[in-house]
Amino acid sequence: MKKQWLLILVGSLLVLTSCMNKANEPKAKYVFLFIGDGMGISQVYSTELYLASLNGNRQTNNLNMSKFPVQSYMTTYSSNSWITCSSASGTAMASGFKTNNGVLGKDSTLTINFESIAEKAKLAGYKVGILSSVGINHATPASFYAHQNSRGMYYDIAMELPVSNFDFFGGGGFITPKGKGENQPDAYENAEKSGYTYIHSKESIQNIKKGSEKVLAVNPFLLSKAEFAWEIDNAKESISLAEFTRKGIELIDNPKGFFMMIEGGKIDWACHANDGAASVKEVLAFDMAVAEALQFYKMHPDETLIIVTADHETGGMIIGNENEPNLGLLMNQNVSAQEFGRLLVNVQQTNPKATFEQIMELVQQHFGLGSDSKGLALSAMEIAMLKKAFDETFDGSKGLDPDKEYLDISANKTIPDVAVYLLNHKAGISWASNDHSATEVPVRVIGPGQQYFTAPIDNTDIPKIIAKLMGL
Ligand SMILES: [Zn+2]
């Protein structure tokens, strides 16, 4: 009798242990975390309305991310502000802890380094990839591997990158690769010395094969802050975020699994400039990168988790003003506000006596403004706004700075500012500011564990849920 009881006890223990082991098993072996910088609900919805307008219908769930089964939202505030910045929000999404705006991967007293979900995954034997369309040492990607008192310490962040030992870094280059001191090593050389294969031509990036240990792949075509060209400017020499995502998957796919963070960094920059058309094109490019992850998901649906979210909203974008929204009008803009600024600087230099009428021709050519047939006729007041900008900024000395990260549109001072403002207004887009807002951001999820994202969450919940699902 005693023996029988013992057998039952041992049997039950065995069943219990096997259940516990099952509970510890990772449910999500492949995790993609997509962060659209500055991508609020309206940034996504304006892109959906743009596509609906091009398709001539009222179907709005026309992006890859809008078809995900979980469509929720998330709060983003930081330790010291309702309005977060990319480093505080990046830190929250990477580590599960809030910090002050401007701080990177550390607590607000600057004494504790937070371990990121990417660092945890790497330690547990997963492969890790970090991708961004802006500098790879910019706040969002850096939140996953660096720990610095300030997000602006670009050189120190760049030098910290190889310490992570992560398997793939792709996209933008280093902002400030050289330190201020004379004897400070170049950050690219430092990465190579630490065992990274640094590649930066289209050919070498396309040809690199699996088995290359650690890779730092940088887009050969970059702008002044080591970021991708604007999507709307259609730089042919550039490699897209989607291509980088595909290459990243190819390189780090392995039987143990991986964690990959992909940032669409210039949605934020477009919205700082209140440039709706540029924002739409950046969201589309970001969604194409999501499509690459979806391809992978289709091969491993039971083990692949894709999360698409944002660090914060930028610009306080709202669809609606006294005009009926017609996002299709944005199609008439074929250049970013920033690139149009550069183009005008070039005109100033080659033809300083250019007349207002000549500049208006350029405005029409690049924004459609002034064209009746395109539905973009200008009122006398709107022409006066452009004339004022022309009078105040077209003497070659002020107003136009092509190297600025984004334009200061707050006072609608320059010709590109006014052109963008008028086109956005006619398309039905309004803006609250040139900066981030406190509004919640979208959370779209597909894959094992998606049910944990159905209720609204906080940005600190993201790594906690991922850790649970990856068994970290
Ligand atoms: Zn920003």
DSSP assignment string, 247-273? HHHHHH--TT-EEEEEEETHHHHHHHT
User: For the purposes of burial, counting CB atoms within 10 Å of the CB of 202, is it exposed (0-12), middle (13-18) or buried (19 or more)?
Assistant: middle
Instruction: Say how many Å lie between the CA of residue 316 and the centre of ligand 1.
Output: 12
Q: How far apart are CA 88 and CA 105, in angstroms?
A: 8
Tokens of 427: 């398309």
User: What sign for the dihedral angle of Cα 431, 436, 442, 444?
Assistant: positive
Q: Report how far ligand 1's centroid is from the alpha carbon of 372 (Å).
A: 35
CA of 222 relative to ligand 1 center, distance in Å: 19
> Per residue of the chain (472 residues), what is the pLDDT tens digit?
456 665 555 555 555 544 444 555 569 999 999 999 999 999 999 999 999 999 999 999 999 999 999 999 999 999 999 999 999 999 999 999 999 999 999 999 999 999 999 999 999 999 999 999 999 999 999 999 999 999 999 999 999 999 999 999 999 999 999 988 888 999 999 999 999 999 999 999 999 998 878 999 999 999 989 999 999 999 999 999 999 999 999 999 999 999 999 999 999 999 999 999 999 999 999 999 999 999 999 999 999 999 999 999 999 999 999 889 999 999 999 999 989 999 998 998 898 889 999 999 999 999 999 999 999 999 999 999 999 989 888 764 454 554 544 444 444 578 998 999 999 999 999 999 999 999 999 999 999 999 999 999 999 999 999 999 999 9
Angle at 134 between CA 128 and CA 139, to 5 degrees: 70
Name the helix (H) or strand (E) containing 44.
helix 41-55
Q: How far is the CA of 85 from the centre of ligand 1 (A)?
A: 7
Print burial letters for 221-255: b (CB count within 10 Å at least 16), e (below 16): ebbebbbbbbbbbeeeebbbbbbbbbbbbebbbee
Angle between helices 356-367 and 380-393 (to 10 degrees): 110
> How far apart are alpha carbons 90 and 72 in whole angstroms?
19
Ligand 1 center to residue 232 CA distance, Å?
Answer: 19
* Cα(242) to centroid(ligand 1), Å: 22
CA of 317 to the centre of ligand 1 (A): 13
Q: From the CA of 313, how far away is ligand 1's center (Å)?
A: 8
Out of 3.50.50.60, 3.40.720.10, 3.40.47.10, 2.30.31.70, the CATH code matching 27-317+434-470 is 3.40.720.10
Distance in Å, CA 268 to ligand 1 centroid: 5
* Cα(38) to centroid(ligand 1), Å: 6
Taking the centre of ligand 1 as the mean of its atom positions, its distance from the CA of residue 341, in whole angstroms, is 20
Provide the residue type at 115 as one letter: E
Say how far apart CA 368 and CA 365 lie, in whole Å: 6
Q: What is the DSSP string of 279-298?
A: HHHHHHHHHHHHHHHHHHHH
Orientation angle between helical segments 276-299 and 415-427, nearest 10 degrees: 60
CA of 459 to the centre of ligand 1 (A): 17
The span from the CA of 158 to the CA of 191, in Å, is: 9
Taking the centre of ligand 1 as the mean of its atom positions, its distance from the CA of residue 402, in whole angstroms, is 18
What's the confidence (pLDDT) of residue 19?
A: 46
Integer Cα distance of 472 and 455 in angstroms: 22
**Best CA proximity match to 92, nearest among 471, 435, 464:** 464
d(CA 272, CA 133): 16
How far are the Cα atoms of 13, 40, 44 from residue 319, in angstroms, in the given order? 59, 12, 11
- C-alpha triplet 217, 134, 117: angle, nearest 5°: 75
> Is 47 within 8 Å of 277 (Cβ atoms)?
no
Phi and psi, residue 104, nearest 5°: -125, 115
Q: How far is the centre of ligand 1, averaged over its atoms, from the C-alpha of 443 (Å)? A: 19
Cα separation, 173 vs 186, in Å, equals: 13
The rounded Å distance from CA 389 to ligand 1 centre is: 25
| Nearest partner of 283 among 35, 41, 43, judged by Cα | 43
- Long-range contacts of 384-388, Cβ-Cβ distance < 8 Å, separation of 24 or more: 385/412, 385/418, 385/421, 385/422, 386/356, 386/359, 386/360, 386/415, 386/418, 386/419, 386/422, 387/356
Ligand 1 center to 441 CA (angstroms): 14
Helix axes 41-55, 276-299, angle to 10 degrees: 90
Centre of ligand 1 to C-alpha 93, Å, is: 16
Centroid of ligand 1 to alpha carbon of 160 (angstroms):
23
Q: In 10 A of CB 268, how many CB atoms? A: 29
Cα–ligand 1 centroid distance for 84 (angstroms): 9
**What's the 152 CA to ligand 1 centre distance in angstroms?**
13
Query: Ligand 1 centre and the CA of 418: distance in Å?
Result: 21
Which residues have CB under 8 Å from 449's CB, separation 6+?
27, 28, 305, 465, 468, 469
Question: From CA 345, how far away is CA 395, in angstroms rounded?
Answer: 10
User: Residue 229 has what DSSP assignment?
Assistant: P
Question: What distance in Å separates the CA atoms of residue 9 and residue 31, rounded to the nearest whole number?
Answer: 39
For ligand 1, the distance from its centroid to the CA atom of residue 209, given in whole angstroms, is: 35
Structure tokens at 167: 């398997």
Ligand 1 center–CA 275 separation, angstroms: 13
Q: 267 near 314, Cβ under 8 Å?
A: yes
CA of 87 to the centre of ligand 1 (A): 10
Distance 416 CA to ligand 1 centre (A): 20
Q: How far is the CA of 192 from the centre of ligand 1 (A)?
A: 30
Q: How many angstroms is it from 233 CA to the middle of ligand 1?
A: 20
From ligand 1's centre to the CA of 171, what distance in Å? Answer: 18
Measure 86 CA to ligand 1 centroid, in angstroms. Answer: 7
Q: Domain residues of the chain, as ranges?
A: 27-317+434-470, 321-430
Distance CA 269, CA 133 (A): 11
Ligand 1 centroid to residue 43 C-alpha, Å? 14
**Rounded to the nearest whole angstrom, what is the distance from the C-alpha of residue 310 to the centroid of ligand 1?**
11
Q: How far is the CA of 106 from the centre of ligand 1 (A)?
A: 20
77 CA to centre of ligand 1 in angstroms: 14
